[in-house]
Structure 1
Amino acid sequence: MTTAVRTPPHHNTLTCYTDYQCRRPECVDRYNARNRERLQAQKAGTWTGLIDAEPVRQHILQLGAIGISPSDIAATADTSIQSVLEFIRPVRGRGRRHRTSPAMAARILAVGPDNVVRAVVDATATQRRLQALAALGWPMKRTALHAGLSTTNITGILTRSRVTAATEQAIADAYDQMRRQRPENHRVSRGQAKKTRRRAAAARWPKPSYWDQHPDGLGDPHFQPLYKVTPGELVAEDARWLLNGGVSLEHVAERLDKTTDYITQVLRQYPGGTA
């Protein structure tokens, strides 16, 4: 069995040598130079195991300039957000970090635009998965439990614009499993399931089968799901938009190939349109 050779994200830190077995001459020289510094410091009795943190600080600032946040860096480097922030500003009354371990430096310096893991993402797909499961009768607190998330603020996700990448993945995994299960067979009472389905129907939350037909729309905040929208509602929506733009009722009817009486009727029947 062969082992795939990983390509290093860049060649300006020790990571390419230690983690990716890169043996470019300049990378070998950098590794050997760092080892010589360590041996000399150990011989002089000044070795603390820590190195200058300024290259790490500059790297974090450079990443920030291209839109990679400290949260993203922390997620990619598998460390805490506080550990990243300490390199660029005082945190909790302590001064900015001036020295760090070689391992920490290597992890942060390895983060780049090609391998960054976004810590926070758009919430649209997560919201629609929660709603789709609710349309099947799954209360959101039950979905949270299944996903290993706190039940306290799960419904708050519906009003947020962003969620953590970890939350998005947890809900996506739960969605793939729960959509094929009947809530009543998994500790959800008939009354709970019925109430949840009724609420979802009133809000016109599409079921998973709808998103199967519109997979590109699931995570697109600009995609408007026309779920169980009647032809009359669509006409009312278009008519209202034209009327608000100053078009007369007669010209609206002509454009939509309807009678003025029909336009008036659907506007009265659907005063809120499809929004």
Structure 2
Amino acid sequence: MSTRPHGYARYRLDGCRCYTCAVARSRYDENRTKAITAGTWQPWVDAEPVRTHIRALRDCGMGLRAIAAAAGVDRKRLQAVTVGRTERGTGPQEKIRPDLAAAVLAVEPTLDNLAPSTLINPAGTRRRLQALVAMRWPQQHLAVRLGMTPNNYGAMVRAEHVLVRRALAVRDLYEQLWRADPLEHGATQAGVTRARRHAAAHGWAPVGAWDDDTIDDPAAYPDWTGQCGTWLGYATHKRLHIPYCDPCRAAYRTYRQERRAIRAAA
């Protein structure tokens, strides 16, 4: 008995002639005829870009089973693309269906897709913890909430890589605490004062300086002023006594050079 869901594939591969499968076959034929008439019929695409993407995902720590689950396809279909069908003695597929290609190419190596033991860049994890300290959360409180000793916590913050499971735990903690007042959750006034001073002394950006889309990007910079990367951002840094960021320094240098050029040409 086939476990394949009812639809076009079951009609073709398993010979099912139930109403659902028959309708799926009819719609497929109708869409195929329209596409052929319009000159857009493309039943197969090159499999090599998909193989390249699968290799990149595996290099990031995703197994073939995890890639298949994220793409919503059967793992055997990916095996056919990468190594071929061993039971048939065939090599990797050279052509695949467009829907399979689109599903696999849409998979990204996000934290939720990677194996818990995978080592990743610690930038996002470190920034989230630093932002919470800048929001006056004592680091010993963060360590306790993560189920870590102060020594293990410190080692994680300084490490060149972090485990995915740790990164996920820190992400969840960040979501829980970024709007919370540490004084209402057991921190002392002395503790929050020390945390704020420590963050300021080390130039750690607060929560509001990071965007969810960039906080995990190692090349990204915090937007301290809402105008960082412009000469206006530089002026805001100066007015509010905020440590200057590199994008604002660069923008201000460019602004001064342009001003000198205009004066020289006058």
**TM bucket normalised to smaller:** 0.3 to 0.5
